[in-house]
């Protein structure tokens, strides 16, 4: 199990497009990948799950990947958050 | 049909229900309900046998794959029209469809709850929709609609892609549905359907357009209609008032029948006006043209003796048939319309999407201010291939009739010049291909932004005619979105600023000696039409079914009186005062008319 904590940096938070990119990326890996926002845990391969996180700017999210490619998976998803999904960044 | 007995039971429990919607086609219909959609596609809550589990799982996966193919196909077609960027939203739809969490939940429902594939999918998506609607985020709440859309598509596939078929209609019915798809519109057994009531839809939905062209009453946007209506229920559809009554009690039914008779008498009376000229009492001709959204409305325009088509909104062709992006298909449609209307003129407005009409509804939320955004001529000047194909098609069709080209949403002179240059290029291309074009093809500008109003004297020198789009002009000059219930009451055609702007445009056109037609809804509203004539308008383009009533009113009034009224209105401080003055004016006309008749 690989865990990594990231911050939502894009101004609009995790709306449909970022969710779409997370799910697309997660689906490329074999590992099970979860996202956690406090008590809320969701499947990172599910766009609807991700939307249910209701993660706005500045939210702390924990990525938990478990499986054969868990390190790469967590890193790939963390990189998306880090880059703010290519959107305008807000102040956190 | 297995639903029938349960419907009968339910009917016995339920009494009269009255609902409101949007009146889109006038008249009153009384008859028996034919439900095209069962409630959210007939989800049967029966437990499946253990040996059926595997089969249902397989059905679900197959239906997902079919739906995915369908969405991909739509994506590919739209891409050829609007480009890669806008179709990315379909990717989101596909992701929603293949969503692992939803799929797992649905499969678990089949296996553990022993639900059918349809019921399992319905429930799993329902939870997702609920999650989205619960959020604080407005944008996400709107996305719930996308999920519903995906679910609807999927459930259609789980039902073998069928809704209740029209083949069952063997007597006169009133159709109740979520909405009609374009293909259903085409297959509709027209002689059997006497009215429509649908849950979805606005004035330009397929149902509304179809109803108006068939001249049958219709009310759309009746939110609870699918929950309340049962197959074979008695129903009253009042397309003039926007009221639908299910299982009406006896006295209401009698009332509706007598109103229906009266309406038909009045309609027959109006028909007699058909062949009378459209002139005022003092003999000034007011040329009445027809606004047309789809080719099916053309016969109605001809029947009502329109002087031609003053506004053909080409975008609806694009909405319902993506093949139209091809030049051949488009040329064929335009040619057919021109032949039909010839020798009278047809003014084709080039693609006017954006704002409240988007080619791909899912892309709508991407602009923070769509009405102030990428729309009308702005799209055509950027997506040049799209515009080029449309103009080439129009030009190629122009050989068989009297065609004009109208440019929508002009706000600068440069847009006019650029569009004209592109039209000239296309003309040269088509000519070199050996098509013998008419010497002159008129190009006009829509005046619907305050900017264009004040530039009208300059624009008038560059175009052959003006068309005033009052809907947008009012919206932009009063800064009111008429679809926003919080402010819709401020959308008022009687606002003195609107009259002042219309007058500026009419004056500019008169000085430049070009004609102006007024084509917004204001033109078809009798009170507003009186005001417009007073301001100097002599050409109106309205929905074909309004022509007869306008003729009747014009025959009662003199242009001098109307001018005096308009001059007074221009000096008034508020819309309310103007409205009162025009109402009084019409009242006096009617009284005078009655007196002279009697």
Stretch among B342-346, B374-378, B439-443 having the lowest mean pLDDT: B374-378
* B183 has a pLDDT exceeding 60: no
Task: Provide CB contacts within 8 A for B388, sequence distance 6+.
Answer: B422, B425, B426
Q: Indicate which residue of A4, A7, A15, A75 is catalytic.
A: A15
Once rounded to an integer, what is the mean pLDDT over residues A50-59?
86
Supply the mean pLDDT for chain B.
Answer: 86
Please say whether the beta carbons of B183 and B165 come within 8 A: no
Per the CB < 8 Å rule, is A16 touching B91? no
Stretch among B69-83, B430-444, B536-550 having the lowest mean pLDDT: B69-83
β-bridge partners, B349:
B313, B406
d(CA B313, CA A20): 35
Q: Give the closest residue to B529 by CA, choosing from B545, B551, B514, B505.
A: B551
* B582 has a pLDDT exceeding 90: yes
Once rounded to an integer, what is the mean pLDDT over residues B205-221?
83
Per the CB < 8 Å rule, is B92 touching A17? yes
Per the CB < 8 Å rule, is A47 touching B95? yes
Sheet bearing B173-177, strands edge to edge: B17-20, B243-246, B234-238, B28-35, B173-177, B193-198, B218-220, B22-25
Stretch among A30-44, B152-166, B324-338 having the lowest mean pLDDT: B152-166
Interface of A with B (CB under 8 A): 12-13, 15-17, 20, 23-24, 27, 42-43, 45-49, 51-52, 54, 56
More confident residue, B89 or B332: B332
Sheet bearing A32-37, strands edge to edge: A2-7, A60-66, A32-37, A40-43
Measure in Å the smallest separation between the Cα of B130 and chain A Cα atoms: 10
pTM for this predicted structure: 0.65
Interface of B with A (CB under 8 A): 91-92, 95-96, 99-102, 128, 131-132, 135-137, 139-140, 143, 147
Task: State the first-to-last Cα distance of chain B, in angstroms, to the nearest integer.
Answer: 58
Q: Give the closest residue to B173 by CA, choosing from B33, B11, B27.
A: B33
Q: Indicate which residue of B122, B156, B157, B206 is catalytic.
A: B206
**Residue B135: its chain A contacts at CB < 8 A?**
51-52, 54
pLDDT reported for residue B37: 63
Residue labelled with tokens 């357009």: B209
From the list A12, A47, A54, the residue facing B99 with the nearest CB is: A47
More confident residue, B241 or B200: B241
Find the residue in A nearest to B362 (Cα): A16
d(CA B44, CA A38): 38
CA-to-CA separations, B247 to B12, B97, B226, in angstroms, rounded:
10, 39, 14
B289 — phi, psi (to 5°)?
Answer: -105, 170
More confident residue, B2 or B307: B307
If you average pLDDT over each of A37-41, B227-231, B449-453, B524-528, which comes out highest? B449-453
Label residue B482 by pLDDT band (50, 70, 90). confident
Stretch among A13-22, B305-314, B529-538 having the lowest mean pLDDT: A13-22
Pairing mode of beta strands B465-468, B516-518? parallel
* B266 has a pLDDT exceeding 70: yes
Rg (CA), chain B: 26
Once rounded to an integer, what is the mean pLDDT over residues A22-51?
89
d(CA B473, CA B468): 8
For this structure, is A15 an active site residue?
Answer: yes
* B511 has a pLDDT exceeding 90: yes
pLDDT tens digits for B10-53? 444 478 999 999 888 889 999 999 988 644 455 666 788 888 89
Label residue B550 by pLDDT band (50, 70, 90). very high
Label residue A89 by pLDDT band (50, 70, 90). confident
pLDDT reported for residue B512: 97
The single-letter DSSP state of residue B279 is B
The per-residue DSSP string of B88-135 comes to HHHHHHHHHHT-HHHHHHHHHHHHHS---HHHHHHHHHHHHHHHHHHS
pLDDT reported for residue B85: 59
CA within 13 Å, CB half, B1: 19
Q: Which of A42, A47, A57 to mutate to test the interface with B (most CBs of B within 10 A)?
A: A47
Please say whether the beta carbons of A77 and A26 come within 8 A: yes
A40 — phi, psi (to 5°)?
Answer: -85, 120
pLDDT reported for residue B571: 97
Q: Which of A11, A16, A56, A86 to mutate to test the interface with B (most CBs of B within 10 A)?
A: A16
Label residue A77 by pLDDT band (50, 70, 90). very high
The per-residue DSSP string of B444-456 comes to EEEE-SHHHHHHH
Q: Which of B86, B124, B126, B140 to mutate to test the interface with A (most CBs of A within 10 A)?
A: B140
Helix, strand or coil, per DSSP, at residue A61: strand
**Residue B101: its chain A contacts at CB < 8 A?**
42-43, 45-46, 48-49
pLDDT reported for residue B78: 63
Once rounded to an integer, what is the mean pLDDT over residues A11-20?
84
């Amino acid at each position: 199990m690989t865990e990594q904590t990231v911050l939502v940096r894009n101004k609009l938070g995790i709306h449909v497009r970022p969710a779409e990119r997370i799910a697309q990326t997660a689906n490329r890996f074999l590992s099970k990948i979860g996202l956690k926002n406090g008590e809320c845990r969701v499947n990172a391969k599910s766009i609807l799950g991700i939307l249910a996180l209701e993660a706005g700017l500045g939210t702390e999210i924990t990525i938990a990947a478990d499986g054969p490619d868990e390190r790469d998976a967590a890193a790939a998803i963390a990189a998306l958050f880090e880059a703010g999904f290519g959107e305008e960044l807000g102040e956190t | 049909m297995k639903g029938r007995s349960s419907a009968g039971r339910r009917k016995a429990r339920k009494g009269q229900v009255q609902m409101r919607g949007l009146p889109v086609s006038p008249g009153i219909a009384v008859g028996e309900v034919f439900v095209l959609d069962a409630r959210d596609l007939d989800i049967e809550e029966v437990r499946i046998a253990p040996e059926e589990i595997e089969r249902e799982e397989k059905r679900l996966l197959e239906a997902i794959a079919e739906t995915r193919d369908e969405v991909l196909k739509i994506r590919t077609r739209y891409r050829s029209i609007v480009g890669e960027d806008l179709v990315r939203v379909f990717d989101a739809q596909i992701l929603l469809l293949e969503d692992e969490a939803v799929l797992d939940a649905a499969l678990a429902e089949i296996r553990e709850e022993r639900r059918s594939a349809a019921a399992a999918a319905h429930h799993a998506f329902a939870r997702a929709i609920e999650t989205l609607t619960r959020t604080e985020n407005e944008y996400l709440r709107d996305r719930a609609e996308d999920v519903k859309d995906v679910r609807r598509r999927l459930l259609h596939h789980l039902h073998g892609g069928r809704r209740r078929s029209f083949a069952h209609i063997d007597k006169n019915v009133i159709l109740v549905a979520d909405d009609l798809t374009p293909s259903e519109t085409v297959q509709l057994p027209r002689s059997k359907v006497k009215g429509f009531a649908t849950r979805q839809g606005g004035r330009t939905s397929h149902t509304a357009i179809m109803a108006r062209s068939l001249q049958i009453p219709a009310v759309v946007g009746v939110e609870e209609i699918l929950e309340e209506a049962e197959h074979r229920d008695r129903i009253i559809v009042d397309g003039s008032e926007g009221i639908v009554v299910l299982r009406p009690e006896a006295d209401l039914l009698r009332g509706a029948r007598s109103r229906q008779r009266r309406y038909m008498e009045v309609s027959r009376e109006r028909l007699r006006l058909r062949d009378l000229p459209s002139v005022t009492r003092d003999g000034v001709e007011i040329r009445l043209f027809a606004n047309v959204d789809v080719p099916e409305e053309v016969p109605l325009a001809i029947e009502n003796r329109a002087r031609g088509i003053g506004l053909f909104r080409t975008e609806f062709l694009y909405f319902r048939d993506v093949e139209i992006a091809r030049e051949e298909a488009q040329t064929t449609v335009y040619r057919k319309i021109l032949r039909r209307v010839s020798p009278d003129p047809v003014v084709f407005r080039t693609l006017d999407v954006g704002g409240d009409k988007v080619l791909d509804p899912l892309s709508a939320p991407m602009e923070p201010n769509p009405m102030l955004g990428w729309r009308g001529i702005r799209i055509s000047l950027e997506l040049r291939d799209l515009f080029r194909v449309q103009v080439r098609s129009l030009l190629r069709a122009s050989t068989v009739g009297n065609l004009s080209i109208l440019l929508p949403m002009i706000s600068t002179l440069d847009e006019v010049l650029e569009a004209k240059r592109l039209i000239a290029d296309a003309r040269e291309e088509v000519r070199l291909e050996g098509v013998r074009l008419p010497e002159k093809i008129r190009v006009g500008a829509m005046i619907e932004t305050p900017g264009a109003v004040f530039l009208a004297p300059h624009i008038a020198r560059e175009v052959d005619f003006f068309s005033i789009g009052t809907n947008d002009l009012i919206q932009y000059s009063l800064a009111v979105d008429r679809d926003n219930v919080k402010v819709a009451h401020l959308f008022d055609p009687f606002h003195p600023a609107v009259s002042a702007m219309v007058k500026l445009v009419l004056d500019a056109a008169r000085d430049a000696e070009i004609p102006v037609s007024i084509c917004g809804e204001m033109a078809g509203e009798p009170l507003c039409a009186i005001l417009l004539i007073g301001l100097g308008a002599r050409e109106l383009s309205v929905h074909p079914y309004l022509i007869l009533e306008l003729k009747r009113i014009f025959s009662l009034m003199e242009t001098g009186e109307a001018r005096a009224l308009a001059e007074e209105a221009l000096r008034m401080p508020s819309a309310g005062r103007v409205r009162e003055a025009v109402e009084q004016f019409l009242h006096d006309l009617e009284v005078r008319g009655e007196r002279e008749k009697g």
